[in-house]
Each structure stands twice: as C-alpha cells, then as structure tokens.
Amino acid sequence: MTDPLATTPISPLRQRLIDDMNVRRFAPVTQRNYIRDVGRFATFLGRSPDTATAEDLHRFQVEQREAGVPVPTMNSIVSALRFFFTHTLDRPDLARRLVRVMHPRKMPAVLSPDEVARLLNATTCLKHQAALSVAYGAGLRVAEVSTLKVSDIDSERMLLRVERGKGGQYRNAMLSADMLALLRQWWKVGRQQGVMHPNGWLFPGMHAGKPISTRQLHRIVVEAARAADIAKRVGPHTLRHSFATHLLEDGVDIRVIQALLGHAKLDTTDAQRQQVMTLEAHEFMRRFLLQPAGLPSRDTIEALCLRLSQSRSIEPPP
C-alpha cells in the first residue's frame, strides 16, 4: 500500500509519529487515520501540537461537541491523540486529559442461516459467491478475505492461513469440505479467465496483480442482499457476526469462538493458556452439529481444532 505521506513534506515530529506507529506495526489505514486526526488538532491549535496544553485539549473537545462531530469520530480522534501524547511526546499527563464519549451501541444485524444461504445464492458470479462464502464459513474480516492468496489454502489440513489479519496477526481459520470444493471450482474458472495464478491473490480485483478491494466486497454484499430481498442493513462484517452468532447459539464456548475469530491473543510461551484452549477445542468438537449455509461439518471442526497451532501452506488447489 502507498505511504499516505509519500506526496507531502514530513516534519520531524510527524516522522517521529510515523516511526512510533511502524515500530508497533500499525496498519497503513490506522496510520493514515492517526496522522489525519493529529493534523486536525494541529489545525485547530494553529501551531505545532507538541506545544499543546491541557486547556487546549479541553477547548478542542468542546469545539468538536458543539460542531456536531459524531461520537465515533470523536473517540477515534481521542485514540489518535492519546497515542501521540503518550508515545511520541512522552506526555501521558496530557493523554489522560482526553475524554472518551460514551454512546449507546446498536446491536449488529445478524442473518439467519436461511438468509445467509439466500444471500450467497444471490451473488452474480462464482468469484463473488466464493468470497462471501469464505467470509461467512471462516468468519473472516473483509480485509482478511481481500488479501487471501491461493497459497493460503491448506487443503491437506483443511485450514486457511490468515497472514494479514488485524494488527498483523497470523492465525489459522477453518476450511470446510464444501468451501474447498467451491474454491477449487473458482480456481478452475479463474485459470480459464487468466486471472488466477499459483502465487497470486485468491480473489483478484479488476487487475489480476491486485486483490479485490474491501469497498467492492461491501458493494457485492449489499447488492446480493437486495437481490435476495433481505431488508436488514448488511455488510461484509454482518457475515462474520452471523458466523459467530450461529456458533454461539449452538452452545460453542465463547473462548473457542474468540480463537476462531482471531480475538484471542494467545502467548506462545503461555503453556497453561494453550492447554485451556486445547480443552475448549475438544469440547467444541463434542458439541458441534452440522450447520447449513456454509459452516463446516463436525469432521472439519475436529481437524481444525487439532491443528489450530500449526501452520504450513501447500500447492494451489488442482
């Protein structure tokens, strides 16, 4: 991804902020947002943000509230400024002055298994159906679906390697037999179209050298939902929510679901915690039932749970 600051002069202070974010492996989009928000505060001040006082921060937040800035946006700015003052300027005293605004969160929309099946069947081409099936059947984030490569498919152990997850985290995701069959079908069609390559993207964009964009995936979901007469407001993340909800409704332990979604941060040196997850995985295997519309079978879950801590890629599917 292009450096968000490649076309603008970089001050020493801004470079220090960028270096601090790079050290922590912040995603490019996060870096762009933090730089934008710190710049917004600097514009309000009319001078360098490293000269800010506690009163400046208070005035800035009052001005934002009076200007009608949405609460989520205000809180995103707070996150950026807290990082800036804590890590770049070493002024945690100022970071503590920033107030995060509480607001009621809406419950995310969740599709029923029947609605998921209708949505997948309403896609207009095999690539779109395969991409949305992976989003639901493996519970992946939209950015994770976008950046999957053909080599991320491990058909021997029935896993998907997610190497470009949130925060740069690596994990394995589940791969059902039905999903593998669909991906192999897409592989053959994509090869015929000349857009699929052994070391290329699993879901190429307009140009085979680039992956499908998250914006395009969102558009695909919205159009499929409309074609399937689904009135709920849905997006790619709705499929991830639905995946987790359907597992939870089946009695799967929440800690197992966290691991499958990539929320659990397991320290590889923490043997006790790894053992807990192994026990939970076996409990998951005992209680899992076959799910409609893309969730993997019990055999697939068993294979997954026994191999969650393993990783190896194989040749592209034939």
Taking only the tens of pLDDT, the chain with its 318 residues reads 445 445 557 889 999 999 999 999 888 889 999 999 999 999 999 999 999 999 999 999 999 999 999 999 999 999 999 999 999 999 999 999 999 988 777 777 889 999 999 999 999 999 999 999 999 999 999 999 999 999 999 998 888 888 765 655 677 888 888 999 999 999 999 999 989 998 899 999 988 789 999 999 999 999 999 999 999 999 999 999 898 888 888 777 777 777 777 764 433 223 333 433 444 444 444 444 334 334 554 454 444 444 443 433 333 443
- For the chain, which residues make up each domain, given as ranges? 12-95, 113-307
Token pair belonging to 192? 């015929």
Token pair belonging to 44? 């309000």
Token pair belonging to 110? 């969740």
Superfamily of structural domain 113-307:
Intergrase catalytic core (1.10.443.10)
Which three-class secondary structure string do you get for 64-118?
Answer: HHHCCCCHHHHHHHHHHHHHHHHHHCCCHHHHCCCCCCCCCCCCCCCCCHHHHHH
Superfamily of structural domain 12-95:
Tyrosine recombinase, N-terminal domain (1.10.150.130)
